[in-house]
Amino acid sequence: MQKQTNIQDLFLNMARRDRVPVTVFLVNGFQLRGVIRGFDNFVVLLECDGRQQLIYKHALSTISPSRELPIKLGFAEKDDICPEEIE
């Protein structure tokens, strides 16, 4: 049985591991810029200007990395699918 890909964990782990600066947009409109230091099922730990911020995931709207993260999803991209397969 093949394990299902968790895109959220892939994204957060790659940003953390590669220390990619991110902009975090909160649901209230605030923006935080920093580096992801850790995460679990409920929170993201962000380091901003030498300070740690523990952000609950339910308060997040968007996380935008400063550069593209090369995430391999493990399923066919839209352009890789033959037209006959789409119905």
What is the pTM for the complete model shown? 0.77
Q: What pairs with residue 60 in β-bridges?
A: 26
**Distance, CA of 61 to CA of 52 (rounded, Å):** 19
Domain residue spans of the chain: 7-85
Beta strands across the sheet bearing 31-39: 51-56, 43-48, 31-39, 21-26, 60-65
Tally the C-alpha atoms within 13 A of residue 32's C-alpha that lie toward its C-beta.
24
pLDDT at 86: 45
Question: Does CATH number 2.30.30.100 belong to domain 7-85?
Answer: yes
27 contacts 60 by C-beta, under 8 angstroms:
yes
What are the pLDDT tens digits along the chain (87 aa)?
A: 556 668 999 999 999 999 999 999 999 999 999 999 999 999 999 999 999 999 999 999 999 999 999 887 765 555 554 444 444
Q: Are 52 and 39 in contact (CB under 8 A)?
A: no
In the prediction, which pLDDT does 33 show? 98
pLDDT at residue number 71: 82
- pLDDT for 20 equals 98
